[in-house]
Amino acid sequence: MSSITTKDLTADRDLLPWEAYVPGHHWRNAEDEAEGAKLGMWLFLSTEVLLFMGFFTAYAAFRMKFPGNWYEAAHYYLDWQIGAINTCVLLLSSWTVVMAVRAAQLAKRRQILVYLAITNLCALFFLATKLILEYWPKIQKGKLPGANFAYTGEVQGAHDHIFLSVYWISTATHGFHVLVGVFLISWCMIKAAKNHYGPKHYTSLENVALYWHLVDVIWIFLFPLLYLA
């Protein structure tokens, strides 16, 4: 009994890696393998939702305790225009990821690379905006979370430090997810460049896309709750 590996089949020079892809031997076929991987990704995304729910719970509990101060602090410390631009940028990146998966389904290698490159540029723009325009000025003014909050200079209300604690922990965790996304998308770009994605096989690209959409969904909630409401 001999089992066929991807390596055996790619030995044929005419065969691209995605064409030669053979699912793991414990899978009935490639479709089952892709579906199984996707279900696993959804289970992981569920844990991610619950992780961020912790921050949303803190938001809700403290907002309920200090409704007036909360609203004022949100409008005092945060610039809704930066948040709105970053929201549009993340929505654009979500759309380009959708188009990258579509390009893989249509075996258009160059399109996958172009769309993923735009996605990564959006992600880097988001992180740069966050660090340069939002985090750095706050660090300089000592508007740090919790006990590190400096009650010097302008202070808006008595519970600003609690609002900023929720702001920092939720946006920083989200920002970390964006950073992880940059690495994952770069990895997908390398695989796409090496012809690993095509109509018969694009599992990792599809699952990274799901991850990226979740990061977008989290921001869809963080933006209005922190910057606007």
Q: Identify the residue among 132, 139, 190, 228 touching another protein (CB under 8 A).
A: 228
**CA 99 centroid distance within chain:** 16
Tell me if 39 contacts another protein by CB under 8 A: yes
Q: Return the DSSP state at 226.
A: I
Strand partners, 198: 201
| Pair 137, 154: CB distance under 8 Å | no
Residues 6+ apart with CB under 8 A from 179: 127
- Distance between CA atoms of residues 114 and 43, nearest Å: 29
The four Cα atoms 57, 61, 63, 65 give a dihedral, to 10 degrees, of: 180
Q: Identify the residue among 7, 68, 140, 154 touching another protein (CB under 8 A).
A: 68
- Distance between CA atoms of residues 171 and 176, nearest Å: 8
Tell me if 30 contacts another protein by CB under 8 A: yes
Tell me if 9 contacts another protein by CB under 8 A: yes
∠ CA(188), CA(194), CA(196), 5° rounding? 65
* Subset of residues 202 to 221 that bind another protein, contact rule: CB under 8 A: 210, 213-214, 216-217, 220-221
Q: Identify the residue among 131, 172, 190, 229 touching another protein (CB under 8 A).
A: 229
* Subset of residues 107 to 126 that bind another protein, contact rule: CB under 8 A: none
The one segment of 34-42, 112-120, 126-134, 138-146 that binds another protein by CB under 8 A: 34-42
Tell me if 105 contacts another protein by CB under 8 A: yes
Label residue 54 left, alpha or beta by phi (over 0 means left) and psi (-120 to 50 means alpha): alpha
Tell me if 146 contacts another protein by CB under 8 A: no
Tell me if 37 contacts another protein by CB under 8 A: no
Q: Identify the residue among 65, 110, 141, 194 touching another protein (CB under 8 A).
A: 65
The one segment of 33-41, 125-133, 177-185, 186-194 that binds another protein by CB under 8 A: 33-41
Tell me if 25 contacts another protein by CB under 8 A: yes
Smallest distance, Å, CB 49 to another protein?
A: 5
Question: Which two structure tokens, joined as six digits, stand for 210?
Answer: 């799901």
CB count in 10 Å sphere of residue 182: 18
Which of 142, 199 has the CB closer to another protein?
A: 199
Q: Identify the residue among 33, 79, 98, 133 touching another protein (CB under 8 A).
A: 98
Residues 6+ apart with CB under 8 A from 146: 161, 165
* Subset of residues 171 to 190 that bind another protein, contact rule: CB under 8 A: none
